[in-house]
Amino acid sequence: MSTPPAAPAAPQSGPGAPALVAPPDAGVDTHCPYCALQCGMTLRPGSGGPEVVERPAFPVNRGALCGKGRTSAEVLSSAVRLTGPLVRGADGELVPAGWEEALDRVAAGLLRVRAAHGRDAVGVFGGGGLTNEKAYALGKFARVVLRTSQIDYNGRFCMSSAAVAHQRAFGLDRGLPFPLADIGATGCVILVGSNLADTMPPALRYFAELKRNGGTLIVVDPRRTRTAEQADLHLQPRPGTDLALALGLLHLVVAEGRVDADFVAARTTGWERTLPGVMAHWPELVERITGVPVPRLRRAVALFCDAPESMVLTARGPEQQAKGTDTVSAWINLCLATGRAGRPLSGYSCLTGQGNGQGGREHGQKADQLPGYRKLDDPAARAHVAAVWGVDPDDLPGPGPSAYELLDALGRDVRALLLMGSNPVVSAPRARHVAQRIAALDFLAVCDVVLSETAALADVVLPVTQWAEETGTTTNLEGRVILRRKAVDPPPGVRTDLEVLGALAERLGHDKGFPADPEEVFDELRRASAGGPADYSGISYARIAAEDGVFWPCPRDAAERTPDGAPAGTPRLFLDRFATPDGRARFTPVQHRPAAEEPTPDFPYYLTTGRVLSQYQSGAQTRRVRELNEAAPGPFVQLHPRLADRLGVADGEPLAVTSRRGRAVAPARVSPAIRPDTVFMPFHWPGEGSANTLTNPALDPASRMPEFKVCAVRVEKA
């Protein structure tokens, strides 16, 4: 295997810059390729290629763009991306090849492993950046062509814990049950484990609007981030104690007589079973567990309950834990007990991270789900989808393992892998181990835009189109289905993922059912989702374009019932009833428990991980943009001045962080914005400073989410 190459940076203009697919003076309205805001933007002709400009009419970002979105056209240049297939040569190096040879090799590799080891020896790993059409086609390809149960995607690492908690409480999982604009009109928001100033900067305008309207913002985060600096109250708990914090706040709600008894009686079930666990977490105990003083707990309850309407928004902080599902359930319980759910301008919601993390699991990439958010083990769901696909329901495989479990099985139970739009060598927990498992495969094929660290290990690399080179839909964090329009032609040696799947399906004996036209795929997706929880049957490309997106669920027979001026589909959920059989929300009894790893004398500090403003996810694309690299050139270790003094390390000096899984070295960044018992590392980089070398793959028992956000480490001068 060759060494993964360094990511080059390239200017926006110059050789390789693509031409716009539009009249010379026109632009193409489309959407940013990065986070789940899916900000609206316009690509217009520039002197050296397409340029990103604001699109004020789109209601989510209202024209605002972060640096990543503003520079996103740079990755379209052929100077920084793959422009032809690569295959592993006799000398072990990747060499250029033609498409027919590359596709023949992929088909032969998959067939060879399946013949020798069975269908489930072939795995599929997808990505939260794939469009709905590609996610749908990939799930169908795995289950109809390969007939394997071994499929999952990196969205498992995004909001899977919140998804399970949503299902428990509300009977339906959609990231936000209301539009983002509602945030600015509520009275108080508790934002748990999210640094929006770095991860979704355009969303901050809603929190600024909240404060201008007299509302308050409470931020829960072990670090005093740029987002926390804007809060009216910052609660700074120890990593891994968010569950205790939520229980402590709800204890005070009960003790102070702030429970909305009428709402609890009329619209919920399970409160009496939940109450004993809540009362076991009295304020002084919660202070000892979390490190948050009791007066600050009391102030948080007062701000939240005294506001006429209020919300709790969670993100990866509380969710990426081995108890993430229970932690989210505890925050939902707080909303239910105070009547802050199922009414306008109040509620619990989750801030989805990846661009299409929502749609990616709704339509078939997740190990246990079929299109329309149907359960794979539900006979009625299997029958419906099988009829659309023209197969026998009994021929569909059952649920498979979760993302980390699938990666951990590579080279053993799973001997061949088709990977599309993901870079687990950098993004997976215990990343060095995952790289070793990938290297142990009999066969690996990767479809990607760039030669990522994972693609560099492949036997075959297939170059595919990216956001502005293809048309397709994504579903943003509000549940708004939007349309990315093709704006430029891809390089001649590049094909779409849909074309790749169709060509592979044909080679594997399925010459029908995998069209390359995304609108044709979307129309089939609509039929497959009809009647399911995520019903897209009333959504069309034309309607999305006319209405700036359509909120699901949008059944076909309800498609034309939207009043004039109202957002299309279902922008606000649960106002009349929850999506449970009896229409009531369900409390979930939960108890705090320690993190999978707590500090010990050998590993005395907490490590928590996250993102920085100028990079995105594994950095496979953003590390190829010069401006973003200049702003965030590499990893670092943030630590408190008291810890720095104890270690004798100065700002900028190399610092070694060691966990039970590995060691990473990066420059120290000394800051009072972090707890003295905690260090922070961003996870966008491979190599010596890879934060995910250290992270713990301990899994949440319900969501199978790894514990990215907390593990025990040793810190010392390198």
- From CA 278, how far away is CA 271, in angstroms rounded? 10
Angle subtended at Cα 353 by Cα 584 and Cα 376, rounded to the nearest 5 degrees? 55
Beta strands in 288-353 (DSSP E): 310-314, 347-350
Task: Give per-10-residue mean pLDDT for the chain (718 aa).
Answer: 39 52 75 95 87 92 95 92 96 97 98 98 96 98 98 93 96 94 97 96 96 98 97 98 98 98 98 98 98 98 98 96 98 98 93 87 92 96 98 98 98 98 96 98 98 98 96 96 95 96 98 97 97 95 92 81 63 96 98 97 98 95 95 97 97 98 98 98 97 98 97 97
In a domain, 388, yes or no: yes
- Domain endpoint, select from 351, 366, 387: 351
Six token digits for residue 620: 């496979």
- From CA 715, how far away is CA 471, in angstroms rounded? 47
- The model's pLDDT over 43-55, given as tens digits with 9 standing for 90+, comes to 998 877 889 999 9
DSSP class of residue 342? S
The CATH code of the domain that includes 641 is 2.40.40.20
In a domain, 112, yes or no: yes
- Domain endpoint, select from 476, 505, 530: 530
- The model's pLDDT over 504-560, given as tens digits with 9 standing for 90+, comes to 999 999 999 999 999 999 999 999 999 999 999 999 999 999 888 999 999 988 655
Number of domains in the chain: 3
18 closest CA partner among 73, 71, 77: 77
pLDDT (0 to 100) of residue 631: 96
In a domain, 281, yes or no: yes
Tell me: do 367 and 506 sit in the same domain: yes
Six token digits for residue 711: 């593990």
- Distance set, CA 322 to CA 193, 327, 457, 586 (Å): 15, 10, 30, 22
- Distance set, CA 362 to CA 150, 155, 378, 437 (Å): 17, 11, 15, 28
pLDDT (0 to 100) of residue 429: 97
Q: Is the peptide bond before 553 cis (omega within 30 degrees of 0)?
A: yes
The CATH code of the domain that includes 386 is 3.40.50.740
pLDDT (0 to 100) of residue 87: 98
Q: Which domain holds residue 394?
A: 86-157+356-466+494-530
3 state DSSP class of 53: strand
**What is the model's pTM?**
0.94
3 state DSSP class of 123: strand
pLDDT (0 to 100) of residue 18: 73
In a domain, 581, yes or no: no
The helix, strand and coil proportions of the chain, stated in percent and rounded to the nearest 5, come to 35, 20, 45
- From CA 145, how far away is CA 127, in angstroms rounded? 19
pLDDT (0 to 100) of residue 24: 54
Tell me: do 631 and 670 sit in the same domain: yes
Tell me: do 223 and 253 sit in the same domain: yes
Six token digits for residue 475: 């579903």
The CATH code of the domain that includes 281 is 3.40.228.10
- From CA 220, how far away is CA 114, in angstroms rounded? 48
Write the CB contacts of 386 (distance below 8 Å, at least 6 apart in sequence).
Answer: 392, 393, 395, 396
529 closest CA partner among 385, 366, 359, 361: 385
In a domain, 253, yes or no: yes
pLDDT (0 to 100) of residue 213: 97
Tell me: do 333 and 190 sit in the same domain: yes
- Domain endpoint, select from 329, 351, 373: 351
How do strand 443-448 and strand 416-420 relate by DSSP bridges?
Answer: parallel
How do strand 310-314 and strand 347-350 relate by DSSP bridges?
Answer: parallel
DSSP class of residue 20? B
Tell me: do 299 and 366 sit in the same domain: no
Cα torsion angle, 361, 366, 372, 377, sign? negative
Six token digits for residue 664: 């990473």
Burial class (CB in 10 A: 0-12, 13-18, 19+), 115: exposed
pLDDT (0 to 100) of residue 19: 67
- Average pLDDT value over all residues in the chain: 94
In a domain, 17, yes or no: no
In a domain, 430, yes or no: yes
- The model's pLDDT over 307-319, given as tens digits with 9 standing for 90+, comes to 999 999 999 999 9
